[in-house]
Amino acid sequence: MNADAINDIAARHPDAFRRPLWKRYATPIGILLCILYTFYCSWFFSVAAVLEKANWNLAGAYLADWVSYEIRPDIEFKDNYLTIDYSRFSKLGSNPNPDWVGKQMAVIERRVEAAPAPAIATNKSSQDSFMAPGAPTAEKPAAPSDQPAPAVPETVRENAVVAATVTLGNGQIAVTPNLVTVTRGAESVIFDIAKDSSVTPRTPLPDWIEQRRPGSTAYVSFGFLGRAEVQNDEVVAWRRFFGWANFVFDTNSPFWGKPFGEVASLIVSGPRIDPSRSNAALAWDNVLNNAEWQHGDVWLKLLQTIVMAFVGTVLASIVAFPLAFLAARNVTPSRIANQVTKRFFDFLRSVDMLIWALFFTRGFGPGPLAGMSAIFFTDTGTLGKLYSEALENIDDKQREGIRSVGATPAMVQRYGVLPQVLPVFLSQSLYFWESNTRSATIIGAVGAGGIGLKLWEAMRTNTNWANVFYMVLLILLVVFIFDNISSYLRRKLMGTVANGNDERRVSARSAAAQIA
């Protein structure tokens, strides 16, 4: 190709070769604008400052909480013995004695000073924690609480824990009243404990132990398996376990901690645990009222969310259906009626679902009625708009045909219009049912019923991330099932329409585009 030919082509296609400057640089200009806007936003929202303040360690811990849980033994230093304590609502039940906490018992002598109060405390703690299971309780000093306090210190002999070891995978913490040995893999560090004053390592610390000031608390990390704090009065260990603790039965249930086979045989043929009802009823009640997971409440709230989306969409479709005929230019010849109905739809749509939800929460009180009314109002507007657009796009020939054989106006609508639009209407309603299941979750958080509020509350406490994940899984499951039902029904509906007339599919798609 020679230069003439090139010039010739260029002359014939000026729009391709001599484009205006702004058109030629449209892409870089667009990208530049986007970058500038990004800078503006990061200034407007002060992104840098927020990211700097963010607590990323917390993020990791929270994420781990979604699929695991921690158990925290507190090992407290006493003068010549130790006490092991678990948090009050421990996931191990009221009398925990896990095999990964080793205990060495010995008979020791200790002094009890002011009598009644400490004696009771000793009584209690010895029962709860540091007594070996099955150790004779009669060995405890009998200190009746109503006796007047003897002023003289008293010496008692008692069976108590003198050394404890906590095992965390390949790590171990060995604790004695004045010495703590922390081992992770091949490395190990010994801390000297001066009670109530300092924690001193004998060797330089490896990078998995942090001590901010000499003598202060040492923070030990075992990775995902857990962490520990060596303080001058106690050692606190967090051991992380994979999975959801007590998912079926909580620690108060008589079925708690039993293997599956035993629970099954108890339910089928065991003697009644609670004489007033059968074991199956008791087990079911225990599952529903599981204190940690609140299955009954979660399922109820989930059902509320589903109901909100369903009723809201169905009612909106029912109301929007006749109104759409009023709004369609080609069905109702009155311009005033068209305009009034269309503006009414716009109003319902533009007052946001949030505003409706807040209004109705005030009106009906928190609960699914508020949420379903909000969905109903918003979607009457949206569906009405989409329906009337579908009506305005119908093929006029069918109507003319029906009219030409002398049908009444109502018959014309029924046989000339409805068969064309009904599949479109139904498929749009199904799209909205699908998307409303999702939005019902969100508006629930402002009090409009459903699982949204429960989810939000579980998140705000920052301790129930496993519950959050459980609810998220349930929501995903529900959304997945309804997506499939709705797309199956839509396929069936669209299959019944003759393969021609793609316009309908298109308008159904545009609805999908607006919501998905």
Residue closer to another protein by CB (options 407, 445) is: 445
Q: Judged by CB under 8 A, which stretch of 193-201, 249-257, 392-400, 474-482 contacts another protein?
A: 474-482
Residue closer to another protein by CB (options 100, 310) is: 310
Q: Which of 201, 367, 384, 423 binds another protein (CB under 8 A)?
A: 367
* Three-state DSSP state, 123: helix
Query: Under the criterion CB under 8 A, does residue 488 sit at the interface with another protein?
Result: no
Nearest to 321 by CA among 215, 406, 413, 229: 413
Q: Judged by CB under 8 A, which stretch of 11-19, 81-89, 360-368, 392-400 contacts another protein?
A: 360-368
Q: Judged by CB under 8 A, which stretch of 136-144, 228-236, 237-245, 308-316 contacts another protein?
A: 308-316
Q: Judged by CB under 8 A, which stretch of 10-18, 79-87, 264-272, 446-454 contacts another protein?
A: 446-454
Cα–Cα distance measured from residue 514 to residue 516, given in angstroms and rounded to the nearest whole number: 6
Residue closer to another protein by CB (options 92, 300) is: 300
Q: Judged by CB under 8 A, which stretch of 70-78, 156-164, 395-403, 469-477 contacts another protein?
A: 469-477
Task: Give the tokens for residue 141.
Answer: 């000093």
* Three-state DSSP state, 80: coil
Q: Which of 245, 319, 459, 497 binds another protein (CB under 8 A)?
A: 459
Query: Under the criterion CB under 8 A, does residue 319 sit at the interface with another protein?
Result: no
Q: Which of 476, 481, 485, 491 binds another protein (CB under 8 A)?
A: 476
Query: Under the criterion CB under 8 A, does residue 177 sit at the interface with another protein?
Result: no
DSSP assignment letter at 239? E
Footprint of another protein on 391-430 (CB under 8 A): none
Cα–Cα distance measured from residue 341 to residue 222, given in angstroms and rounded to the nearest whole number: 66
CA-based radius of gyration for the chain: 36
Q: Which of 168, 199, 327, 370 binds another protein (CB under 8 A)?
A: 370
- Backbone φ and ψ for 158, nearest 5 degrees, come out as -155, 150
Cα–Cα distance measured from residue 217 to residue 229, given in angstroms and rounded to the nearest whole number: 7
Residues in CB range of 220: below 8 A, 6 or more apart: 173, 182, 184, 208, 209, 227, 228, 229, 230
Least Å distance, CB 410 to another protein, is 19
Q: Which helix (H) or strand (E) holds 374?
A: helix 368-392
Bridge partners for 234 per DSSP? 76
Query: Under the criterion CB under 8 A, does residue 329 sit at the interface with another protein?
Result: no
CB 338 within 8 A of CB 328: yes
Query: Under the criterion CB under 8 A, does residue 513 sit at the interface with another protein?
Result: yes
Least Å distance, CB 114 to another protein, is 44
The contact pattern for another protein, residues 3-42, with x = CB under 8 A and - = no contact, is: -------------------------------x--xx--x-
Footprint of another protein on 281-300 (CB under 8 A): 300
Q: How many residues bind another protein (CB under 8 A)?
A: 73
Least Å distance, CB 476 to another protein, is 6
Bridge partners for 77 per DSSP? 82
Task: Give the tokens for residue 284.
Answer: 């079911």
Residue closer to another protein by CB (options 31, 120) is: 31
Task: Give the tokens for residue 401.
Answer: 């045909």
Task: Give the tokens for residue 156.
Answer: 């008692």
Handedness of CA 391, 394, 398, 404 (dihedral sign): positive
Nearest to 159 by CA among 81, 237, 245: 81
Q: Which of 364, 407, 487, 493 binds another protein (CB under 8 A)?
A: 364
For strand 234-242 and strand 82-86, is the pairing parallel, antiparallel, or unpaired?
unpaired
Query: Under the criterion CB under 8 A, does residue 264 sit at the interface with another protein?
Result: no
Q: Judged by CB under 8 A, which stretch of 118-126, 266-274, 329-337, 449-457 contacts another protein?
A: 449-457
The contact pattern for another protein, residues 38-77, with x = CB under 8 A and - = no contact, is: x--x--xx-x--xx-xxxx-xx--x---------------
CB 260 within 8 A of CB 247: no
Least Å distance, CB 364 to another protein, is 5
Least Å distance, CB 460 to another protein, is 7
Q: Which of 441, 464, 467, 486 binds another protein (CB under 8 A)?
A: 441
Report angle CA 481, 242, 284 to the nearest 5 degrees. 55
Q: Judged by CB under 8 A, which stretch of 3-11, 164-172, 206-214, 454-462 contacts another protein?
A: 454-462
For strand 209-211 and strand 198-201, is the pairing parallel, antiparallel, or unpaired?
unpaired
Cα–Cα distance measured from residue 468 to residue 459, given in angstroms and rounded to the nearest whole number: 7
Q: Which of 307, 319, 493, 497 binds another protein (CB under 8 A)?
A: 307
Query: Under the criterion CB under 8 A, does residue 462 sit at the interface with another protein?
Result: yes
Q: Judged by CB under 8 A, which stretch of 96-104, 346-354, 386-394, 397-405 contacts another protein?
A: 346-354
Cα–Cα distance measured from residue 221 to residue 304, given in angstroms and rounded to the nearest whole number: 43
Cα–Cα distance measured from residue 455 to residue 450, given in angstroms and rounded to the nearest whole number: 9
CB 91 within 8 A of CB 103: no
